[in-house]
């Protein structure tokens, strides 16, 4: 594995991944505390409200930085050089995180959650998964939210970070200064037959 950092990572855009990770850390810490005491606590006590809010705002930060991370990786085409599984794994993390956010919304155990559940169940039924994924089943949604989805996300983050370490940071895209050095003419201008230099 590479053990030095190339100079081109000296930019704030490379921090979005680790900021996402830091937000995820606080989501887990606050979420574990919520799980220990339960909805009857987080809805009524001041300390419960505090950890409920910490959990909520950590999620906001998580998605905020994850989307900025996605933009950065997209704009530098970071799937190059055999890094496609880092990119695909990132997408799986993104989609699973949306599902985790959704089941979390349903796990609030308040009127918002009921409203989302009763509206959303029709969408689930319309695509034929309602019998299996029942938004009105609090136990199912809560179980997915506090166990299955976090575990999957944790595992995929592990794979994601391993792949980043394994491949090293992707090289910046070649600079297009309007001059095609290889063929010694402006970029994009046609190269006559037989004149190309492989």
Partner 1 sequence: MNGPGLQPPINAGPAWQYSFFNLSVPDLIVVGLMIVVFVLAIAIPFPGGDNDSTH
* Residues 20/69, Cβ–Cβ less than 8 Å: yes
Q: What is the size of the binding site for partner 1 (CB under 8 A)?
A: 21
**Residues 148, 151, 156, CA angle at the centre, nearest 5°?**
125
Report, in Å, the least distance between residue 9 CB and partner 1: 9
30 binds ligand HEM (CB under 6 A): no
Cβ within 8 Å of residue 101, ≥6 positions away: 59, 63
112 binds partner 1 (CB under 8 A): yes
Rounded to the nearest 10 degrees, the angle between the axes of helix 84-106 and helix 46-75 is 150
12 binds partner 1 (CB under 8 A): yes
Q: Judged by CB under 6 A, which stretch of 27-35, 37-45, 140-148, 156-164 contacts ligand HEM?
A: 156-164
Binding mask 115-154 for partner 1 (x = CB under 8 A): xx--------------------------------------
Burial class (CB within 10 angstroms; exposed 0-12, middle 13-18, buried 19+) of 127: exposed
28 binds ligand HEM (CB under 6 A): no
Report, in Å, the least distance between residue 16 CB and partner 1: 7
- Determine the Cα–Cα distance for residues 119 and 116; give it in Å rounded to an integer: 5
Q: DSSP states of 48-77 as a string?
A: HHHHHHHHHHHHHHHHHHHHHHHHHHHHTT
Residues within window 70-109 making contact with partner 1, judged by CB under 8 A: 71-72
Report, in Å, the least distance between residue 91 CB and ligand HEM: 4
73 binds ligand HEM (CB under 6 A): yes
27 binds ligand HEM (CB under 6 A): no
């Amino acid at each position: 594995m590479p053990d030095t950092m190339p100079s081109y990572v000296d930019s704030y855009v490379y921090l979005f991944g680790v900021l996402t990770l830091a937000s995820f850390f606080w989501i887990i810490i606050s979420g574990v505390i919520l799980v220990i005491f339960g909805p009857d606590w987080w809805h009524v006590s001041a300390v419960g409200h505090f950890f409920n809010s910490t959990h909520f705002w950590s999620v906001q930060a998580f998605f905020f930085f994850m989307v900025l991370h996605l933009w950065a990786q997209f704009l530098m085409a970071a799937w190059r050089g055999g890094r496609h599984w880092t990119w695909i794994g990132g997408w799986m993390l993104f989609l699973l995180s949306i599902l985790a956010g959704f089941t979390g919304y349903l796990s609030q155990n308040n009127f918002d959650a009921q409203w989302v559940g009763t509206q959303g169940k029709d969408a689930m039924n319309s695509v034929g998964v309602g019998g299996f994924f029942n938004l009105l089943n609090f136990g199912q949604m809560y179980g997915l939210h506090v166990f299955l989805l976090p575990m999957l996300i944790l595992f995929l983050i592990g794979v994601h970070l391993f792949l980043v370490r394994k491949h090293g940071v992707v090289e910046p895209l070649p600079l297009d200064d309007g001059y095609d050095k290889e063929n010694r003419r402006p970029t994009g201008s046609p190269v006559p037959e037989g004149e190309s230099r492989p």
